[in-house]
Structure 1
Amino acid sequence: MGDAFAEGYPADGELPVHDVTVSEFSIDVTTVTNAAFAAFVRDTGYRTESENFGYSAVFHHLFRGSGEDELGHVADAPWWLGIAGADWRHPGGRKTSIDGLDDHPVVHVSWNDAQAYCRWAGRRLPTEAEWEYASRGGLAGARFPWGDELGADDAGNGAWPCNIWQGDFPRSNTVADGWESTAPVRTFAPNGYGLWQTTGNVWEWCADNFDPGYYRESPDVDPAGPAESPVKVMRGGSFLCHASYCYRYRNAARSSNTPDSATCNMGFRTVA
């Protein structure tokens, strides 16, 4: 477990590389889709935190609406906008919908929302050790789920194996991989374990609390993260990742966010 190439961001805590044993588990072959989340909402009447807050974070290229919808910039990134009315049903703002996107990953779901879905489904979020084991698909130490090389570049050489940003982030996206935003969950090719898009497309929530220093004290068997932290682990990167800014579409890459946060590029898959 960890970054065998020592190329990650130091603040993310991808080192040291260490051996971990995980107990047997099952994992969804895809992230949870809009259709699956809609079934949960129909059955329970659940309202996501974005719906309760009245807004969510949308990347500026994907916002579809008027200036009246915008609440301001999110965090320190001017390309993230707080958009009134953005939620899982309206991923680009209140004038958008998920019509025709049943097989796309549900987004604008917080860690707390994902936990609520898991309780309904009788499953849970993966630990980040389980997630990384599954993402590697049997390729120990590999950079990506398919191997060590991306196999494509912004000059138009090669085929893109995942849904990430092509071009000049955050100004222009050439959409060389075919998708400006989310792709259907069974796009590209599955890894050696039959899992689709563990890297790229959408960030995936994990169960663990996040601590960049955790790997130095992580247990050898079934690590489950530190006991306390204000933020939760996210894995896999998203369609907004690019090597120049967010080189986190790798098996070992880690990130984090607060459990009530939601954006247009965050989803989850479940385990049991």
Structure 2
Amino acid sequence: MTIATRDKTEDMRRLPGGTFSMGSDRFYPEERPKRQVQIDPFWIDEAPVTNRQYEDFVRATGHKTLAEIPPNPNDYPGLLPHMVRPGSLVFTPPRDPVPLDNPGGWWAFHFGAYWRRPYGRHAPKALDDHPVVQVAYADAEAYARWAGKDLPTEAEWEFAARGGLEAKEFSWGDELAPDGQMLANYWQGRFPTENLQLDGWARTSPVRAYPPNGYGLYDMIGNVWEWTSDWYAEGPAAPGSPCCMPTNPRGGSLEGSYDPQMPEIPIPRKVIKGGSHLCAENYCQRYRPAARHPESIDSATTHLGFRCVIRDE
């Protein structure tokens, strides 16, 4: 079943396409090199998909998200019997400082955590106008297919996030908080123990809570990470050549997307973009258009959502 009762492009923006500088040479190695890329025109959602929109999809299709299905022990060697229950990862800030190279210090598996109750079965329900989280890649893809849309490529997403600005660090310019103004939902303070909440939010914020970028798009930076359709590779799959510029480039291969540090659990990874409310100046400065990160396709967390695109025929 798909959406048939309204215009699919409602609450979307048509972007003109064009040439832009993708990537950055200033921050993390996986963003390099900065290169010129050509993108065809396309439509993109103004904001991340919300809990209200995702509920419409679930009611129409009966879809069960990955977090609602008990894990298969064969897929996760070493999984203890008591953990074969539905649930997902929830950000749980530690009371004391922890090493920043071990995300296990602030992520905990909560039984019963899923998109309707992203922080666990005894936590409050998800708010309608906040971005849906606790959605694995297949859950985002299923929504997009139902809506008659697709998930964006990494290049499309970054083109959209830049809002027409060329080679700027953020969607609004080169300064994170110009004149002290909070322009996105990210972490202020020492992550993961000190959240000053200068932006007014400890977790997700309603979509459209901050000004849009130059293309009229909201939350392209911070709030929640967003899935793209590209398989992850350490560097660009099409960096360009002296003769030609990549047009509508795609990411790496399925085979090359596996995490070499976890050969015992061969789960492929997709590129996610935009950073989230957990990105801080002292940790994960990925609240930038050029930033990118690998995420296992079975991951569902409290800081990961998505938006959709429609490509011109």
The answer to whether TM tops 0.5 is yes
Q: CA deviation at 1:215?
A: 4.9
- Please give the alpha-carbon distance, in whole angstroms, between the structure 2 residues aligned to 1:86 and 1:136: 33
Q: Does 1:95 align with 2:122?
A: yes
Paired positions, count: 252
Instruction: Report the Cα offset of residue 7 of structure 1.
Output: 2.6
What displacement does 1:214 show? 2.3
Using the size of structure 2 for normalisation, the TM-score is 0.77
Please tell me the root mean square deviation across aligned C-alpha atoms, in Å: 1.6
Could you say which residue in structure 1 is the equivalent of 2:91? 59
CA distance in 2, matches of 1:55, 1:214: 34
Please list every run of 5 or more consecutive structure 1 residues that lacks an aligned counterpart in the other structure.
63-74
Partners of 1:121 and 1:86 lie apart in 2 by: 25
1:21-170 → structure 2 map (5 Å cutoff): 21-53=38-70, 54-61=86-93, 76-98=103-125, 101-151=127-177, 158-170=180-192
Aligned to 1:254: 292
- In 2, the alpha carbon distance for the partners of 1:164 and 1:217 equals 30
Q: Are 1:7 and 2:45 an aligned pair? A: no
SS across alignment from 2:105: strand
Q: Structure 2 CA distance, aligned partners of 1:246 and 1:2?
A: 19
- Letter paired with 2:89: A
Deviations along 1:30-85, one digit per CA (max 9) or x if unpaired, are 000000000000000000001113111111049xxxxxxxxxxxx74211001111
- Tell me whether 200-209 or 157-166 shows the greater mean CA deviation: 157-166
Give the deviation of 1:227 after TM superposition: 2.7
| CA apart distance, 1:167 | 1.2
Report the TM-score when normalising by structure 1.
Answer: 0.89
Q: Aligned AA for 2:168?
A: A
Q: CA deviation at 1:9?
A: 1.8
Q: Which runs of 5+ in 2 are unaligned?
A: 1-20, 71-85, 95-101, 258-267
Counterpart contact for 2:22–2:155, Cα < 8 Å = no
Output the CA distance in 2 between the equivalents of 1:24 and 1:174. 40
- Report if aligned partners of 1:239, 1:265 keep a CA contact under 8 Å in 2: yes
What one-letter code is carried by the residue in structure 2 that aligns with 1:49? L
Residues 120 and 171 of structure 1: CA distance in aligned 2, closer, same or farther (over 3 Å): same
Q: How far apart are 1:235 and its partner, in Å?
A: 0.0
Give, in whole Å, the separation in 2 of the partners of 1:76 and 1:172.
16
Partner AA of 1:236 in structure 2: G
Given that 1:105 and 1:202 are in contact with CA atoms closer than 8 Å, whether structure 2 keeps it comes out as yes
Which residue number in structure 1 is paired with residue 199 of structure 2? Answer: 177
- The whole-number CA distance in structure 1 between the counterparts of 2:306 and 2:142 is 12
For the residue of structure 1 that corresponds to 2:128, the secondary structure is coil
In the alignment, structure 1 residue 267 sits paired with structure 2 residue 305: yes
Q: Counterpart of 2:57 in 1: which secondary structure?
A: helix
CA distance in 2, matches of 1:241, 1:215: 26
In 2: Cα distance, 1:76 partner to 1:147 partner: 30
* Residue equivalent to 1:70: none
